Amino acid sequence: MSKNTLYNFISIEGNIGAGKTSLATKIAADVDARLIVEQFAENPFLPKFYEEPEKHAFPLELSFLAERYHQLKNEFANQDIFKPNIVSDYYFLKCLIFAKTNLKNDEYDLFTKLFHIINDSLPKPDLFVYLHNSIPKLQENIKKRGRTYEQNISDEYLEKIQNMYFDFIKQLTNTKVLVIECDTIDFVNNPTDYIKLLDAILKPYQIGVTRIII
């Protein structure tokens, strides 16, 4: 990237309300990279899922799988020679994390078969950044951004997703993973916090999991 040549593709991840899109947007602008933002708000199954999870979980996860695949495939197929580097606000792996959380066993088994068929054709990030927040902090962020369909998300659901992320992170191989503790920083409104966070992300890391506190 323009400020660091180590990473051509950075994926920012985290639980609901972690600040993934805000951080990815700021980083992409500052290092002059292309930004990939997940278009989840346009998914018609999402509000339905929060109202009736069991009824709409499978079509929701399948639609996210298809949308993320097509978005990433198209973005990487249409390279920009002036902006060859990419920052995204999601990692395709999240398809499995939410599917494991939301689907029944037989549905998940079918889902994983579809996932692995298409996952091998997608590029993997050079650095996977996970923003870790406590459940109260996530709820605070969710309330602040005010999306109607998110306001009744339970602590139990957020905790389940969080645990699932860590389970999958432990299984990752040949991946540089950076876990950042975010409870005590405000990278959206505090420029000093953001600069510290940006500097930490653009440092070199070894393959494996690195945990930092800003």
- Told to judge if 89 belongs to the known catalytic residues of this protein, a careful annotator would answer yes
- Sequence-distant (6+) residues with CB within 8 A of 68 are 38, 90, 92, 94, 95
Q: How long a stretch of residues is the chain?
A: 214
Separation CA 82–CA 177 (nearest Å)? 27
| Residue whose entry in the numeric block shows the structure tokens 């990815």 | 24
Catalytic residue among 89, 109, 155, 167: 89
List Cβ<8 Å contacts ≥24 apart for 190-195.
194/26
The pairing of beta strand 176-181 with beta strand 86-88: unpaired
- Cβ distance 199 to 152 under 8 Å? no
In eight-state DSSP terms, residue 124 is P
Residue from 85, 20, 73, 60 nearest 149 by CA: 60
- Cβ distance 33 to 4 under 8 Å? no
207: helix, coil or strand? coil
Question: What positions carry a catalytic annotation?
Answer: 89
